[in-house]
Amino acid sequence: MRIAYALLDPGIGVFGTKGASVHVQEVIRALRAEGHEVTVFCTRTNQDVPADLADLEVHRHRLPAGTPAEREQAVAAASAEIAREIAAGGFDLVYERYSLFSDTAARLSAPTDPGSRAIPSILEVNAPLIAEQREHRSLADEEGALGATRRQLHGASLVSCVSEAVAQWTREMGAAPERVVLTPNGVNTTRITPAPRPLAVSAPDAPVTVGFVGTLKPWHGTDLLLRAIARTEERLRLDICGTGPQQGELERLAAELGIADRVRFRGAVAPAQVPGILHGLDIAAAPYPAGEHYFSPLKVYEYLAAGLPTVASAIGTIPALLGHGTLGVLVEPGDVQDLATALDELAADPGRRAHLAVRARDSAVAEHDWRSRCRELLGRLRSGAPTEAVA
């Protein structure tokens, strides 16, 4: 099929380094690997184009600088313009990542112009963006955002949600239950693989590297991880891969805790470098704080694919993803001491780490590959069958 991939969120670059950008790239890779021709329509690209996506056709609609209200209006205008461009392009499917103020897919699934061809669409929903924007950023025209969201949810052929919490939100917002399908995040198990070296038996006092991959924002709990590392044995080191608004604050916290010499802040890292960085870790961490968590944690899928023993908060979808403790170690969300104890115990038990590593990789390959995710989603679209949520 010829697929138009629409991304109008000005905060997400198609070729950026944060998790949302990685998600976009991996879905595009999976669709292309399945034999589909993908063309991207977006408002932001970033410059670090991966080599394997260098031939990807991208149409960028630049948004003007301005106030938040003006930016919101610009997204809405770009949505209409992109919809017209896609309609003229002869595409078989529109795949849109849900963005505030965009109704691109809805315009194409149910065109109002006489004689216009309806194009099937998949709306991928990763978060209840209106509530998220209201809480963490600013939202000038909430009614406009609500209207566009409802049009998208009503018009999409399928509404693909990363978690049951998100799926429930879409139903409450007006999506027809029979068109809502659960599609958790996945991982590229060809790109992310275990370290080529076998796990060596190390001396009891050998350094153990704990790793965190992700954007440095409060809801990722990186501050909790730093406090936990400060309570662990000195041989534990922390490698933080990613940047974000908290980086300066976290660097100061590491110094205050007296562990600056045990922590490495890498800053922003291109997705192509992440597999190699994961190879250098002994343990991976996903220390989410307590609270409402509706997401599907991309980093944990990457940890599994890399064959890394993982310590993660027992929150949201994580317990099920980690086999309720059979594929990783679950800790109480927000409990620094519980996290520290789990890290120390896993660091002291290389045999257990090796066992978890094998199980983690096997799970990623068998259950969570991006190509399988996309193949199943397109199969549901073709069949037109009821789309009961499945994990």
In eight-state DSSP terms, residue 289 is: P
- Give the CATH superfamily of 2-186+369-383: Glycogen Phosphorylase B; (3.40.50.2000)
Distance CA 154, CA 231 (A): 50
Q: What is the pLDDT of residue 391?
A: 28
Distance CA 371, CA 367 (A): 11
At 26-56, the pLDDT tens digits run 999 999 999 999 999 999 998 789 999 999 9
| pLDDT computed for residue 387 by the predictor | 40
Higher pLDDT, 270 or 92: 92
Domains 2-186+369-383 and 208-367 share a fold: yes
What is the pLDDT, as a whole number, of residue 200? Answer: 52
Domain boundaries, the chain: 2-186+369-383, 208-367
Residue 104's pLDDT is what? 97
| pLDDT for the residue 388 | 38
pLDDT band at 389 (very low <50, low <70, confident <90, very high): very low
> What span, in angstroms and rounded, lies between the C-alpha atoms of 5 and 37?
10
The residue among 75, 71, 5 whose CA lies nearest residue 41 is: 5
pLDDT for 345 beyond 60 = yes
Classify each residue of 227-237 as buried b or exposed e, where b means 16 or more C-beta atoms within 10 Å of its C-beta: bbbbbbeebbb
131 confidence band (pLDDT: 50, 70, 90): confident
**Model confidence band, residue 338 (pLDDT cutoffs 50, 70, 90):** very high
Strands 93-97 and 57-60: unpaired
Residue 201 has pLDDT above 80, yes or no: no
Q: Please report the pLDDT score of residue 390 as a whole number.
A: 31
Q: pLDDT exceeding 90 applies to what percent of the chain?
A: 85
Q: In whole angstroms, what is the distance from residue 275 CA to residue 367 CA?
A: 19
Mean pLDDT score of the chain, rounded to an integer?
93
pLDDT recorded at residue 293:
79
Beta strand 283-286 with 310-313 is: parallel
CATH classification (class only), 208-367? alpha beta
Evaluate whether 3 touches 20 at the Cβ level (below 8 Å). no
Q: Tell me the C-alpha distance between 218 and 69, whole Å.
A: 25
Residue 333 phi, psi dihedral angles, 5° rounding: -60, 130
- What pLDDT, on a 0 to 100 scale, did the predictor assign at position 132? 84
pTM (two decimals): 0.91
Q: How far apart are CA 131 and CA 150, in angstroms?
A: 14
pLDDT band (50, 70, 90) for residue 202: low
- Confidence label for 198 from pLDDT (cuts 50, 70 and 90): low
Integer CA distances (angstroms), 110 to 152, 155, 360, in order: 10, 6, 43
Q: What is the pLDDT of residue 111?
A: 76
Q: In this predicted model, which residue has the larger pLDDT, 293 or 250?
A: 250
Quick one: what percent of the chain has pLDDT higher than 70? 96
Contact (Cβ atoms closer than 8 angstroms) between residue 31 and residue 374: yes
Q: What are the strands of the beta sheet with 263-265, ordered from one edge?
A: 263-265, 236-241, 208-213, 283-286, 310-313, 329-331
Q: What is the phi/psi pair of residue 340, to 5°?
A: -60, -45
Tell me the C-alpha distance between 312 and 325, whole Å: 10
- Does an H or E element contain 240, and which? strand 236-241
Q: For 198-226, what is the mean pLDDT?
A: 86
Listed residue (148, 172, 64) closest to 100, CA to CA: 148
**17, 107 contact by CB (below 8 A):** no
Pairing of strands 310-313, 236-241: unpaired
For residues 113 and 347, which has the higher predicted lDDT (pLDDT)? 347
The per-residue pLDDT for 48 is 84
